[in-house]
A and B are shown apart, each in its own frame.
Chain A
Amino acid sequence: DSGVTQTPKHLITATGQRVTLRCSPRSGDLSVYWYQQSLDQGLQFLIHYYNGEERAKGNILERFSAQQFPDLHSELNLSSLELGDSALYFCASSVVGDYGYTFGSGTRLTVV
């Protein structure tokens, strides 16, 4: 167990639907990062939150949004899902200034 918890582990949904992926960071980590891993795009950075505030955005579609709550858990919301959104979505956490990034086990999203 890495200490970063992602739920659900697997998700199958239909095109056009909306889903929410959840991440609980390692205890003490203030930063949460979301990554998407797909066969064609590889591992892509989506967004970074630090202590509830958005710090950086990467290749995140407008249909996707995220937030980090006061208890530091984070949610990634994916809407109007398309087949191409099928991917493994990772959450990672870190203490800013520390070099360690700890990844969760990922949520495998399949859009049918």
Chain B
Amino acid sequence: AQKITQTQPGMFVQEKEAVTLDCTYDTSDPSYGLFWYKQPSSGEMIFLIYQGSYDQQNATEGRYSLNFQKARKSANLVISASQLGDSAMYFCAMREGYTDKLIFGTGTRLQVFP
């Protein structure tokens, strides 16, 4: 069965520093997609970044980059130059190819301090 694992319940980072949020996945499908979403305290789910299983290069979106290591089945999110507004829950998710649904991890709560 497909599964997403986020082993860090909480992370702290100082403003302007970089932080890595871990995500490992398990799937037997050769074609899959990996996503990161941010959920601030207000509750909405904000799309951050996407990585396809066949993409040769790691995805980047502004201050967000995805460290994709296919052999290790990991898709870690790197946030550079952290800002106070980055404090939120972060979810890693994988698209299941057959049903097109997203399978989510349990999330990591990131707190950025001055």
Bound together, the chains give a CA A92 to CA B45 distance in angstroms of 10
- Interface size, A (range): 20 to 34
Complex contact B99–A56 (CB within 8 A) = yes
Q: Which of the segments A13-21, A41-49, A64-72, A74-82 contacts the partner chain?
A: A41-49
Complex contact B44–A33 (CB within 8 A) = no
Complex contact B104–A43 (CB within 8 A) = yes
Q: How many residues of B are in contact with the other chain, CB < 8 A? A: 23
Chain A residues with Cβ below 8 Å from B33 are 99
Complex contact B103–A42 (CB within 8 A) = no
Given A58-B99, A103-B46, 6 new contacts (CB under 8 A): A43-B93, A90-B45, A100-B50, A104-B44, A106-B44, A106-B45
What are 14 A-B contacts defined by CB distance under 8 Å?
Answer: A42-B106, A43-B91, A48-B101, A56-B98, A56-B101, A94-B100, A99-B35, A99-B52, A100-B47, A102-B47, A103-B45, A103-B46, A104-B44, A106-B43
The chain A residues found within 8 Å of chain B, CB to CB, are: 2, 31, 33, 35, 42-43, 45, 48, 55-56, 58, 88, 90, 92, 94, 96, 99-106, 108
